[in-house]
A and B are shown apart, each in its own frame.
Chain A
């Protein structure tokens, strides 16, 4: 009984993880002319890397890759710049922290579309809508990154004994100096965690990208349209490119995953 249950659970887990990965690999290596055979083949007849070549050579797809990396990197920087001082304050003055908490939870609770529609209208007025370098999407992704980075960093600063900062101040450091030279270095692992989380959030984000970048797309909407318009080979090659950094980051963050950090992140 126990054995059958365990066997069933393991089989279900392995299948649920392996099926998507194998399908991506198979379709990415199948020439597009073979993709529409019926019934679908389980292995490509003539395995090829031409889909990857097309993705990297195509101006639109390569432009999307550059845009996605750029937006994600810029979002990490802006999110950390906004949350580092606030998270420190939240850790040192819990009453202020709780108030920030309540507002930040809202950005997690509100549906993307509820913020994306008015942002799109505002960006049209401001000339940021469908911006070629995705400035508008960067501003939106920063909003999404704030609660994630804030919660991670505040927990880290709360773990730094306030006495260490006080000691640095007694030795003549300014408040800023104590923060930069004492608290920040001690919070470095959390900084890395927050950076990776925010990068992944932007890299994966679909709804805002679909609304705000209607032609100057990042990778998620590009993948959506490629797949919807019937390019299984190309879209799977693009999917494989998107999966790689995501899996690397998730493996790096495995301890954080395990502690339930991402439970409410709604990725």
Chain B
């Protein structure tokens, strides 16, 4: 790659991709990753183990701040409950949509394209719209008022309802991902299998439970894994809808420590806790890649 001299024909093997000089092709990328991924990661570890007040290193002061902070424990709980609920909801919704839209009907292409719209919108656009829809003086409450019903505070900080709202909004935005994975898998099921099941008398729910779902197994697992990893990193949805403390998760907690308290150490410690969870959770994904 990096050599510019004209090559004699018999030198082809000398620049074979496995060769040392060809490997230089990856050097810029590797250097970049070292500078902007590996080095910041080390800085984060150092920050997390540095005492913010005295500057002592190594110190567990930042972790003591976290452990004694009630908001941190709510963020840990939120970072488990919200992603789990979101993925569960969107797998059910994505599966239902994929099964329904796999049928032939006029306008099918258009409806399938419309499924993707919430995910295609920039995340921040979708979330600010969701807030103007669900705020105390939002359109949802306007519709409730028009129907003579009392107002509902969908985003009241810390309430079960605000958690449910964050989960629903996040699932609304990301269900298209699950839908696309499952629709692709459904299309790959050979028609003969459906035929055979029908001849054997499997219909409706029985066919779904004993024929279609088992065949969708690998795709469902892939969807849960991919979306689950992504859901662990949840940040913008609770941040935009309820602020950093309304429905706390680890990312909003780290942001809160960094931005509102200027505590780099506590922020880095919380971010490290989350990174650890994410990396451990990603091991099955890496295994799959190896296997593939």
Which A residues are within 8 Å of any B CB, using their own CB? Answer: 2, 5-6, 8-10, 12-14, 16-21, 23-24, 27, 36, 38-40, 81-83, 85-86, 88-90, 92-93, 95-96, 98, 100-107, 109-115, 117-122, 139-140, 142-143, 146, 150, 166, 169-170, 172-176, 179, 203-204, 206-207, 210-211, 220, 223-224, 227-228, 232, 235-236, 239, 242-243, 246-247, 250, 254, 257-260, 262-264, 266-267
Contacts and interface: CB of A to CB of B under 8 A. Distances in A.
Given A89-B22, A257-B180, A266-B233, 8 more contacts: A9-B96, A20-B117, A38-B137, A85-B1, A93-B22, A109-B279, A109-B285, A223-B124
A239 B125 contact: yes
A23 B133 contact: yes
Contact of B40 (A10, A119, A206): A119
Given A179-B1, A220-B122, A113 B7 contact: no
A117 B9 contact: no
B274 interface: yes
B278 A39 contact: no
A260 to B, nearest CB: 6
Given A139-B36, A264-B230, A5 B139 contact: no
A111 B232 contact: yes
Given A239-B125, A239-B129, A263 B118 contact: no
Nearest to B222: A263
B132 A23 contact: yes
Given A40-B139, A260-B181, A174 B230 contact: no
Q: How many interface residues does chain B have, given as a range?
A: 35 or more
B158 interface: no
Main secondary structure of the interface of B (DSSP, over half): helix
Nearest to B229: A109
Contact of B122 (A120, A246, A254): A246
Interface of B: 1-7, 9, 11-12, 15, 17-18, 22-23, 25-26, 28-30, 32-33, 36-37, 39-41, 43-44, 47, 96-97, 100-101, 103, 105, 111, 113-126, 128-133, 137-139, 141-142, 145-146, 172, 177, 180-181, 184, 222-223, 226, 229-230, 232-233, 235-236, 240, 250-251, 254-255, 258-259, 264, 267-268, 271-272, 274-275, 278-279, 282, 285-286, 289-290
Contact of B132 (A98, A118, A232): A232
User: What's the dominant secondary structure at chain A's contact region?
Assistant: helix
A89 to B, nearest CB: 4
Nearest to A200: B122
Contacts of B255: 113, 210-211
Nearest to B240: A224
A16 B118 contact: yes
B285 A111 contact: no
Smallest CB-CB A-B distances: 4 pairs: A92-B17, A9-B100, A17-B117, A85-B25
B44 A243 contact: no
Contacts of A204: 122-124
B129 A111 contact: no
Residue among B6, B17, B138, B230 having the largest count of chain A Cβ atoms under 10 Å: B17
A13 B111 contact: yes
Nearest to B273: A114
A207 B236 contact: yes
B258 A103 contact: no
Nearest to A115: B40
